[in-house]
Amino acid sequence: MNIQEYSSREILAQFGIPVKPFILARTPLEAYEAALRLRFPVVLKAQVLVGGRGKAGGIKLATNPEEVRHYASQILGLEIKGIRVKKIIVSEAVDIRNEYYISITLDRSKKSPIVIFSNFGGVDIEETARTNPCAVMKYPVDPMLGLMPFRAREFAFSVISEPKKAVAVANLLWKMYNAFVGVSANLVEINPLAEDSEGNFWAADAKIIIDDNALDVRPELEKYRDVEEENPNELRAKSGGLSYVKLEGDIGCAVNGAGLAMATADMIKHFGGSPANFLDVGGSSDPKKMKLALQIITGDPDVKVILVNIFGGITRCDDIAIGLKSAIDELKPKQPLVVRLKGTREEEARKILEPCGIKIFEDMEEAIKEAVSKSRETR
């Protein structure tokens, strides 16, 4: 789960990492009033979960309250990579002398946390890794012990020559690790880590990704979710136990299992069509899930054809057929429907659906080709 900068800053502050005072604002007036309580200059930053805010005009420096109001009205309402800016933070600015990059993330290959540091802060670390790989320093964290303070110092002294600064960075790194564990993060990133003219370090920007698996076990972390910015259908699917991602095409699909759902979307493309979504109805046979799936798909104005692809293993095809039939009876979708059911109790499923005039495909490729050709007819 990606969380907004203001939530990430709050978390860092809780774990003792220096963050400049800031206030969240939703209107130019709120931003103006916030600025009156802060020390100038201040920086205004769009709160959206996509990168490239600066380039899109979503970050501005202001030196007086009138400027704050002016820039706030510019930023609020901007669209950055398709996302409308609904809120900004007004934050005291750091008088930056040096900028660094520092993060703790998960190394999937080594199965351990890893510290990443660079002297080139304020730029995209992947960009640095491509253009100047030597400038990106990595340090593995012991998976059983975690990041011990002496290890944090060992690393800091290896990348920073000035002892006082190295100790300060080691301290900060150790606090970052506590935050990483404290909120079950997959990533805690400070970029830039800003050093001011007095040699103090500040988290001038912050990005935290919380482990989705931890959310099931630690529901209190849900408070960091920014519901406003999530696709309403994705949220609706999630609350019903489905997994949905909107794509750009016109064939809406409902599939059981994540891998098969991905492969279905891929094959639609392979045969010349375009998937409108990824939708995994999950492993259970609950008829309610099939109904919700169809509600979400038929509610998407881009969908021209509906494709249902089920490989029944533990999931029973007849249960799916019952759910599908009641969903069709209730929703009466206008779009043509292509159904493929294979596996456990497929004969029973046929007996339920064929009387309703629904042809059941046995083969996935044939069903997908049919859906693609139907989507062309309706174009």
| Enzyme catalytic residues | 101, 189
Our CB check for other proteins shows the closer of 242 and 352 to be 242
313 binds other proteins (CB under 8 A): yes
Is beta strand 337-343 parallel, antiparallel or unpaired with respect to 277-280? Answer: unpaired
DSSP string, 27-61: SHHHHHHHHHTSPSSEEEEE--SSS-TTTTT-EEE
Question: Site residues for other proteins, window 123-142 (CB under 8 A)?
Answer: 126
DSSP 8-state code for residue 134: G
365 binds other proteins (CB under 8 A): yes
Considering the complex, what minimum distance in angstroms separates the CB of residue 248 from other proteins?
Answer: 9
144 binds other proteins (CB under 8 A): yes
109 binds other proteins (CB under 8 A): yes
Our CB check for other proteins shows the closer of 171 and 243 to be 243
Question: Can you tell me the distance from the alpha carbon of 226 to that of 213, in angstroms, rounded to the nearest whole number?
Answer: 17
Residue 376's CB: how many other CB atoms inside 10 A?
12
213 binds other proteins (CB under 8 A): yes
Sheet architecture: strand order including 251-255: 243-246, 277-280, 251-255, 305-312, 337-343, 360-361
Sheet architecture: strand order including 59-62: 22-25, 88-92, 42-46, 59-62
Is beta strand 201-203 parallel, antiparallel or unpaired with respect to 185-196? Answer: antiparallel
Name the one range near other proteins by CB under 8 A: 15-23, 31-39, 103-111, 285-293. Answer: 103-111
User: Which of 135, 159, 181, 331 forms a contact with other proteins (CB under 8 A)?
Assistant: 181
4 binds other proteins (CB under 8 A): no
227 binds other proteins (CB under 8 A): no
Q: Is 128 helix (H, G, I), strand (E, B) or coil?
A: helix
User: Which of 342, 360, 367, 375 forms a contact with other proteins (CB under 8 A)?
Assistant: 342
267 binds other proteins (CB under 8 A): yes
Contact set with other proteins (CB under 8 A): 2, 106, 108-109, 111-113, 126, 143-144, 181, 184, 186, 211-214, 216-218, 243, 245, 247, 255-263, 265-270, 275, 278, 280, 283, 311-315, 342-344, 363-365
